[in-house]
């Protein structure tokens, strides 16, 4: 229990002081995760919409694959990306191992299936509602997809946030491909793992509390943004 | 507008992706050296004098050897002499140099059921633990510490892997994680002294056995073989190794935790 109380005090002290090392770690966490989620959305939104309204051979298989890969263990993804980017792997020339870019790649692989699967669900539901109307209007497949995606934008933000949560909290993949190198690839989660292994449990938990607070802040501000766009839409 | 925001965010992310203009080397190393704070203490001195940044990837010795064999590092700094010599014999590394040493200790619950005070060798201590069937947390991860532990067991003519899952518990984790588990389940564990001294979650655990020469723990440094890995930064890597073996020796000796020296330089 002492550890728990100590952690809250330590977390508060960490936030108040916000020393350069912590700021650097928090910033890198945000940069890596934000970039990964943006790329995952650019891939996942169209893929999800395609799965929802597309009619092509292999759609069912692709759909099952997308849903199944939502549960990929981060360590497996980390290993896969490590083997790809390693100097003895096929993409050695890129020199990306142990860089933030490698961490982004791993997280894109983790997050894209989540964004795509949730998008497919949302668009499919919406398509049931709009199908007749869009057909009467003679909308092309592309127009249908873009219209549905645009109309579903509020729900898509939830899909993006789910992806953000997965990436922001993930440690197994970024540990392997980033290497948890101080000042280069150390992020919130790998720092927590490191402090835990040093037995500095109070500091580790304090970092966890900081992580949670940032996550709450981001979710709250996006929710606020979402409800304000909804208000204007209805006005 | 939405699209503009997205684009701006992506553009903002580009500069940090294409960083790393300065010279740096990657050192594949062990968790024990990182967890004890050694690198934080000594590396800034080297970087200051040489301008070379040292990026440490701290994993178990087994993984460090594998990563280095895959050419994902310039320098290898681990503690498993035989495995290092095999690494060089396989053509993955050049010469191995002694850097520093400390020793392994057996830690356990303060009022544990086994009295190791009267045992004189590590083998005897392990045998006493095995006989009492008291939980023992093994790294179980092919690390340098794990290799040492296995060597000690084999000198007892006991094979604890038969008992895996009962009193002998293989954590498959790093040193710190294994110590957390040992503390949590009142188990004994073999650890290097540096990690133990720097470990902050000791609770009621104390060093129960130490001092057997068999517990000697030597760290060695090896430059990855440029004949095998063409991209190895030979000059920067060699400069770092040279520093470790000369000026770095003082820096290593001066690194303490609560007044106790963690590593003892022995390059000369």
Does the beta-carbon distance from A98 to B57 stay under 8 Å?
A: yes
Which tens digit of pLDDT belongs to each residue from A30-71?
A: 999 999 999 999 999 999 999 998 888 999 999 999 999 999
Q: What's the pLDDT at A225?
A: 81
Q: What's the pLDDT at B117?
A: 84
Judge whether B26 and B55 are in contact, CB under 8 Å: yes
Ordered domains of chain A (ranges, CATH):
23-187 (1.10.3720.10)
Taking the C-alpha atoms of residue A170 and residue A175, their distance in angstroms, rounded to an integer, is 9
Q: What's the pLDDT at A226?
A: 77
Q: What's the pLDDT at A135?
A: 85
- Dihedral sign from CA coordinates of A21, A95, A197, A210: positive
Shortest distance, CA A131 to any CA of chain B (angstroms): 26
Write the ipTM: 0.83
Q: What's the pLDDT at B21?
A: 41
- Note the pTM of the prediction, 2 decimals: 0.87
DSSP β-ladder status, B205-209 and B188-192: unpaired
Facing residue for B35 by CB, picked from A31, A100, A197: A197
Q: What's the pLDDT at B18?
A: 42
Give the pLDDT means over successive 10-residue stretches in chain A (235 positions).
Answer: 74 81 92 97 95 90 94 95 95 95 98 96 91 87 89 91 94 96 95 92 89 92 79 55
Q: What's the pLDDT at A2?
A: 62
Reduce the DSSP state of residue B171 to 3 states and report it: coil
Q: What's the pLDDT at B17?
A: 46
- Over the Cα atoms of chain B, what is R_g? 21
Facing residue for B176 by CB, picked from A31, A179, A196: A196
Judge whether B185 and B169 are in contact, CB under 8 Å: yes
Beta strands in B65-156 (DSSP E): 75-78, 93-109, 136-138
Judge whether B25 and B239 are in contact, CB under 8 Å: no
The encoded tokens of residue B195 equal: 């990690």
Taking the C-alpha atoms of residue A216 and residue B65, their distance in angstroms, rounded to an integer, is 41
Q: What's the pLDDT at A234?
A: 53
Ordered domains of chain B (ranges, CATH):
23-102+216-265 (3.40.190.10), 104-215 (3.40.190.10)
Q: How many CA atoms, within 13 angstroms, populate the side-chain half-sphere of residue A109?
A: 20
Nearest CA in chain B to A103: B17
Residue B72 in contact with partner chain A when CB distance is under 8 A:
yes
- Tell me the residue length of chain A: 235
Does the beta-carbon distance from B179 to A199 stay under 8 Å?
A: yes
Residues of chain B with pLDDT under 70: 1-22
């Amino acid at each position: 229990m002492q550890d728990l109380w100590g952690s809250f005090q330590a977390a508060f002290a960490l936030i108040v002081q916000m020393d350069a090392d912590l700021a650097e770690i928090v910033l890198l966490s945000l940069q890596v995760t934000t970039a990964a989620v943006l790329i995952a959305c650019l891939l996942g939104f169209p893929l999800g919409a395609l799965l929802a309204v597309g009619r092509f051979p292999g759609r069912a298989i692709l759909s099952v694959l997308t849903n199944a890969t939502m549960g990929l263990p981060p360590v497996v993804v980390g290993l896969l990306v490590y083997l790809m980017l390693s100097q003895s792997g096929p993409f050695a020339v890129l020199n990306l191992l142990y860089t933030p870019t490698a961490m982004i790649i791993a997280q894109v692989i983790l997050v894209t299936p989540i964004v795509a699967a949730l998008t497919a669900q949302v668009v499919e539901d919406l398509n049931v509602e709009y199908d007749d109307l869009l057909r009467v209007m003679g909308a092309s497949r592309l127009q249908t997809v873009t219209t549905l995606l645009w109309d579903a934008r509020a729900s898509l933000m939830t899909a993006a946030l789910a992806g953000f949560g997965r990436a922001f909290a993930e440690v197994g993949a970024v540990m392997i491909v980033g290497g948890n190198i101080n000042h280069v690839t150390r992020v919130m989660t790998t720092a927590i793992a490191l402090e835990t292994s040093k037995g500095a449990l109070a500091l580790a938990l304090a970092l966890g509390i900081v992580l949670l607070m940032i996550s709450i802040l981001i979710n709250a501000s996006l929710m606020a943004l979402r409800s304000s766009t909804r208000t204007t839409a209805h006005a | 507008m939405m699209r503009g925001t997205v684009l701006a965010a992506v553009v903002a992310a580009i500069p940090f992706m294409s960083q790393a203009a300065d010279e740096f080397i990657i050192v594949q190393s062990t968790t024990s050296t990182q967890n004890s704070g050694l690198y934080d203490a000594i590396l800034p001195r080297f970087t200051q004098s040489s301008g070379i940044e040292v990026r440490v990837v701290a994993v178990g010795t087994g993984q460090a050897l594998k990563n280095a064999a895959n050419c994902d590092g310039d320098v290898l700094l681990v503690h498993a002499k035989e495995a290092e010599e095999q690494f060089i014999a396989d053509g993955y590394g050049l010469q191995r140099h002694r850097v520093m040493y400390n020793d392994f200790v057996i830690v356990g619950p303060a009022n544990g059921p086994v009295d190791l005070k009267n045992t004189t060798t590590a083998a005897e201590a392990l045998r006493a633990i095995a006989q009492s069937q008291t939980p023992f947390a093994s790294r179980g991860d092919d690390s340098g510490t794990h290799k040492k532990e296995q060597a000690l067991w084999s000198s007892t003519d006991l094979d604890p892997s038969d008992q895996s899952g009962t009193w002998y518990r293989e954590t498959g984790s790093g040193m710190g994680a294994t110590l957390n588990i040992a503390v949590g389940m009142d188990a004994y564990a073999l650890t290097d002294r540096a990690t133990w001294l720097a470990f902050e979650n000791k609770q009621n655990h104390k060093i129960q056995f130490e001092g057997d020469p068999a517990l000697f723990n030597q760290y060695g440094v090896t430059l990855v073989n440029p004949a095998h890995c063409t991209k190895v930064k030979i000059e920067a890597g060699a400069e770092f190794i040279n520093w470790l073996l000369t000026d770095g020796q003082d820096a290593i000796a001066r690194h303490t935790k609560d007044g106790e020296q963690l590593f003892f330089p022995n390059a000369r």
